Structures are given as structure tokens and as C-alpha cells.
Amino acid sequence: MVRLAVVIVNYNVRELLRQCLRSLFASEGVSFEACVVDNASTDESVEMVRAEFPQVHVIQSPANGGYAYANNLALRLFLGKRSAWQPDYILLLNPDTILEEDSLARMVAYLDSHPQVGAAGPKLVRPDGSLDLACRRSFPTPEVSLWRMVGLSKLFPRSRRFGRYNLTYLDPDQETEVDSVVGAFMMVRWDAFQQVGLLDESFFLYGEDLDWALRLKSLGWKVMYYPSVRVIHYKGESSRQHSYRVTVEFYRAMLIFYRKHYARNTFFLLNWTIISAIYLRGAYAYLRNLLRPRALKRVS
């Protein structure tokens, strides 16, 4: 029986994808089926996968429709399989990750023993050993986003009030319930997925994992950060190729998320202030990125 359906969305990171798939197929202790969705890459990623990993199902999108769109192509494929085929879990996995041999088995075992958990993520670390702060997050409520945008979250990372964006006041090795984990490695219970449905394709890049987590929690499922599992995350290699477009999409995702989940319950003057702040912060980030060398370009 296949216990896990793995979805990897790729865009022009052939070598990282190769490393990721090698680590995936070196995994022990859990059966899985893998699908790579290629978002119109031009670096022969598809040819590499078909030649070196023939056991992987490949979906070749004719255009880059975004992260949610591409994941949904694979999720619809898994949903459409014969009714007898039902994995216990789905894993959204980025191609710029490297798994340890027991990463999948340990995460599956954790979810097996915690039936109230709808989604979980591991401790993501950068190649230099530092924590990828995005691996455990709070929802970007107006207050949480304000502390982030004015810089108080960086000035006071240990503050429970100001450090909520990336939960920087918590021990990185502390297992804890969180608002969201990141889509770079997000394991979701099949039953929870069937309830929550597909990712929201309004989000091109960023925000769709937060939205999915919020919808899961609204259905009564828990989302857990489980640092006993460790995964390396190179992070940002695809987005760096089009850093200006990605910067725009990052702040567009903030607007979509805010309008979808918070705007209707927010006083109109505060609404105007928040939306204006997102536009201004996005413009500042875009202009600042123009002045950076290519190797240092980033989103925020």
C-alpha cells in the first residue's frame, strides 16, 4: 500500500531537483508515489527526470501557472486515481530540499500517532546550518504584519508580542502547534486534504500554504512543527531567477490573504491603512532589490 503521495513543483532548478529526488528515493521505511510538476522549465529538467527517475510521474505544464496551480495538477491526479488507491498522507516538497534517510518515515510515524494533526512540517535548515525561519509561522494578522513591516520583529525577536511572525521567541527544537508550516515540506493527512480541498490558485507564489493551513485549522485540524525531523532547504533558487516578479507576487499574496481572511472584519479606515502599507512596503522592496547584485536579490 502506498502511504504517501509526494508532489514536487519544479522551475528551472534541474540540479537541485536531481539532488532532491536522489534523497527522496534514498528514503527508508515508507512507501510513496512521486509526481514532479514542471512549470515550463527551459533547462531540460523534464528530460532529466524521465531519464534518471522513470518511476516518477511527470506532469509537464505548458506555462508557468504558479505554485498552487502546479500542485493542484498533481493533487487532481491523485484524487482521480481508482478509489482503492488512497494514501494516508500528501507531501508538498520543494525541489531545493534534501531529505535525510528517515525524514519521511519519522514524519509519517508522528502523524500516525497524532490523529488530530492535519498537517505537519519539520525543522528546515539552510546549508550553513541556520534555521529557515519560515518553517514555523503565525498567520499574518494585521497586528503580526504591522510588527513585521515596521521592523519590530527583527529588533525584538525574543518578544512574544513582536516575534510572532516567525515565532522567533521559541526554541527551534521545541515541538509546538503553529498556525502554519511552509510548503517547502508540508505533510498533510489525506482525510484532511479531502475536507479542505485544493490550494487556492489566486495565489501565484507565496501565501497558498498559509491559506491552506488556515482553512485546515478552521475545520478543527491541528498544524504542528515537528523539529525532530530535519530537512535541508537551499531556498530561493527558483525565485532568484525572476526576483522582481517574485517580489511583486510576495506582496500581492499579502493583499490576497488579507482581503480574503481579515478585511471584512476590519474597520474601513484601518483597512485603507493596511492596504496602503502593503503597497508602500512592496514598492520599497522592489526598488531596493533593483540596487542589489544578482547574488543578493531576494523578496522582502
For helices 268-290 and 142-149, angle between their N-to-C axes, nearest 10 degrees:
30
How does pLDDT run across 241-276, given as a tens digit for each residue?
556 778 888 999 999 999 999 988 887 888 888 888
Q: Which of 177, 176, 216 is nearest to 92 (CA)?
A: 216
Cell 498567520 maps to which residue?
139
Instruction: Report yes or no: 285 and 299 within 8 Å, Cβ to Cβ.
Output: yes
Return the SS3 of 163: coil
The residue among 264 and 14 whose pLDDT is bigger is 14
Q: Dig out the grid coordinates for 249 from the structure.
A: 507576487
Three cell numbers at 101? 534517510
> How far is the CA of 130 from the CAs of 23, 154, 204, 278, in angstroms?
20, 16, 28, 28
Judged by phi (left if over 0) then psi (alpha if -120 to 50, else beta), residue 129 lies in: left
Q: How many whole angstroms separate alpha carbon 164 and alpha carbon 170? A: 9
- Sign of the four-CA dihedral 101, 106, 111, 112: positive
Angle, vertex CA 239, rays to CA 233 and CA 245, nearest 5: 155
pLDDT band at 35; cut points 50, 70, 90: very high
How is the chain split into domains, by residue range? 4-137+178-237, 138-170, 243-296
> Which ranges in the chain belong to alpha helices (H)?
14-25, 45-52, 67-79, 103-112, 142-149, 152-155, 190-196, 208-218, 237-240, 243-261, 268-290
Question: How many CB atoms neighbour CB 150 within 10 A?
Answer: 13
pLDDT of residue 5: 97
Instruction: Report phi then psi at 120, rounded to 5.
Output: -150, 155
Can you tell me the distance from the alpha carbon of 38 to that of 60, in angstroms, rounded to the nearest whole number?
A: 5
Say how far apart CA 173 and CA 186 lie, in whole Å.
18
- Residue 237 is predicted with a pLDDT of 63
Q: Nearest 5 degrees, angle CA 75-CA 78-CA 81? A: 150
Reported as a pLDDT band with limits 50, 70 and 90, residue 277 is confident
- The pLDDT of residue 295: 54
Per-residue model confidence (pLDDT) at position 76: 94
pLDDT above 60 for 7: yes
Question: Pick the residue with more confidence: 287 or 191?
Answer: 191
Return the CATH number of 4-137+178-237, one of 3.40.47.10, 3.40.50.2300, 3.90.550.10, 3.40.190.10.
Answer: 3.90.550.10
pLDDT of residue 227: 98
Measured distance CA(266)–CA(270) in Å, rounded: 7
Lowest-confidence range among 18-22, 83-87, 239-243, 245-249?
239-243
Higher pLDDT, 166 or 266: 166
pLDDT in tens, 119-147: 999 999 999 999 999 999 999 998 998 89
Task: Say what the pLDDT of residue 294 is.
Answer: 58
